[in-house]
């Protein structure tokens, strides 16, 4: 493991630094920046720090970029728009992972394409609901998991941006693990999910928006799975759930992440796989 530590005056501007490295015998690389005004940072400021850093560190001119969905990804899209407008970045095309993100990107003048014409992305940047020690994720509490997975699985690098509240000891412990299902016989699919051996004991609820089922950008529903304990075998759960007819996609994003950029009150950490 390789540690690098630097001081920053605030989360936006570096004023001086020192670096410390040590090799602890693993291939995981961790880079840390500690902030002096860290105690004042709000969650929104932390999201902005990682959103901006993801674009600054991983996007260069000429790239095809996947744009995630959510309150953290919002800042990455904002930064990309800003850098295209200033001319710091050129010849970028991007693929949004939701209608919300598409509208934000269009408003910022970011040129958009689709997987149909650009099936390989240089980088995709997105938030997450949970990440574990192996950089596996739960995603989709914002409802965009299908398009997110379709786009992000095609990226050469998948950069995840989070605040440190998203770190979990095991997937499935901090809230829902979303599963996108067809509206047709959704209750039947919900009951099948509840009975799946790999997620035994979970509770399953149809996601609602007021009195109506929540409808995804793809006109599907979402069943949220709730666990008392972390999912024991996420690979087995991913396989069993996806094999169910009626399931469109699930929110387990396994073995996809290249790096997680984490902002906490102690500073910013980049964990590379």
Ligand X SMILES: O=C(CO)[C@H](O)[C@H](O)COP(=O)(O)O
Smallest gap, in angstroms, from Cβ of residue 162 to ligand X?
A: 7
Annotation marks residue 229 as catalytic: no
User: Residue from 70, 81, 96, 267 that binds ligand X (CB under 6 A)?
Assistant: 70
Smallest gap, in angstroms, from Cβ of residue 145 to ligand X?
A: 5
Residues 6+ apart with CB under 8 A from 16: 7
Smallest gap, in angstroms, from Cβ of residue 160 to ligand X?
A: 9
Nearer to ligand X, 47 or 192 (CB): 47
Nearer to ligand X, 6 or 227 (CB): 227
| Closest to 133 (Cα-Cα) out of 28, 239, 251 | 28
Instruction: Please report whether residue 66 would count as binding ligand X according to CB under 6 A.
Output: no
Instruction: Please report whether residue 145 would count as binding ligand X according to CB under 6 A.
Output: yes
Kindly indicate which of the ranges 23-31, 65-73, 82-90, 241-249 contains the residues binding ligand X, using the contact rule CB under 6 A.
65-73
User: Residue from 31, 33, 69, 174 that binds ligand X (CB under 6 A)?
Assistant: 69
What is the C-alpha to C-alpha distance for residues 192 and 256, in angstroms, rounded to an integer? 27
What is the C-alpha to C-alpha distance for residues 221 and 213, in angstroms, rounded to an integer? 7
Q: Which of the residues 178 through 207 are near ligand X (CB under 6 A)?
A: none
Report helix, strand or coil for 164.
helix
Which H, E and C letters describe 216-245, residue by residue?
A: CCCCCEEEEEECCCCCCCHHHHHHHHHCCC
Through-space distance between the first and last CA atoms of the chain, rounded to whole angstroms: 11
Nearer to ligand X, 6 or 268 (CB): 268
Binding residues for ligand X, total number by CB under 6 A: 18
Is the alpha carbon torsion for 190, 194, 198, 202 positive or negative? positive
User: Residue from 10, 71, 182, 198 that binds ligand X (CB under 6 A)?
Assistant: 71
Nearer to ligand X, 83 or 141 (CB): 141
Instruction: Please report whether residue 68 would count as binding ligand X according to CB under 6 A.
Output: yes
| Closest to 81 (Cα-Cα) out of 59, 54, 110, 61 | 110
Smallest gap, in angstroms, from Cβ of residue 258 to ligand X?
A: 16
User: ∠ at Cα 228 (223, 229), nearest 5°?
Assistant: 110
Instruction: Please report whether residue 172 would count as binding ligand X according to CB under 6 A.
Output: no
> Which of the residues 148, 180, 240, 249 is marked catalytic?
148
Phi-psi group of 121: left, alpha or beta (phi > 0 → left; psi -120 to 50 → alpha; rest → beta): beta
Smallest gap, in angstroms, from Cβ of residue 144 to ligand X?
A: 4
Instruction: Please report whether residue 264 would count as binding ligand X according to CB under 6 A.
Output: no
> Contact, 222 vs 123, CB < 8 A?
no
User: ∠ at Cα 168 (167, 171), nearest 5°?
Assistant: 125
Smallest gap, in angstroms, from Cβ of residue 247 to ligand X?
A: 16
Q: Which of the residues 124 through 143 are near ligand X (CB under 6 A)?
A: 126-129, 139-143
Contact positions toward ligand X, by CB under 6 A?
68-73, 126-129, 139-145, 148
Active site residues: 148
């Amino acid at each position: 493991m390789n540690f690098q530590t630097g001081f920053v005056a605030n989360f936006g501007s570096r004023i001086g630094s020192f670096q410390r490295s040590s090799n602890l015998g693993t291939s995981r690389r961790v880079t840390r920046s500690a902030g002096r005004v860290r105690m004042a940072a709000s969650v929104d400021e932390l999201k902005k720090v990682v959103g901006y850093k993801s674009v600054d560190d991983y996007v260069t001119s000429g790239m095809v970029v996947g744009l995630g969905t959510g309150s953290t990804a919002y800042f990455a899209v904002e930064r990309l728009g800003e850098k295209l407008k200033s001319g710091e970045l050129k010849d970028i095309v991007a693929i949004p992972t939701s209608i919300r993100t598409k509208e934000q990107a269009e408003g910022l003048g970011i040129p958009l394409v689709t997987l149909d014409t650009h099936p390989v992305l240089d980088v995709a940047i997105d938030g997450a609901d949970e990440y574990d020690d192996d950089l596996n994720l739960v995603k989709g509490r914002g409802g965009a998991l299908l398009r997110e997975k379709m786009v992000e699985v095609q990226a050469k690098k998948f950069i995840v941006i989070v605040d440190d509240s998203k770190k979990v000891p095991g997937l499935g412990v901090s809230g829902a693990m979303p599963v996108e299902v067809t509206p047709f016989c959704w209750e039947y699919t919900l009951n099948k999910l509840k009975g799946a051996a790999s997620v035994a004991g979970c509770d399953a609820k149809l996601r609602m928006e007021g009195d109506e089922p929540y409808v995804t950008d793809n006109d599907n529903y979402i069943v949220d799975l709730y666990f008392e304990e972390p999912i024991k075998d996420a690979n087995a759960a991913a396989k069993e759930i996806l094999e169910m007819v009626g399931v469109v996609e699930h929110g387990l994003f396994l073995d996809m992440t290249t790096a997680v950029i984490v902002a906490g009150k102690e500073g910013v950490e980049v964990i590379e796989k």
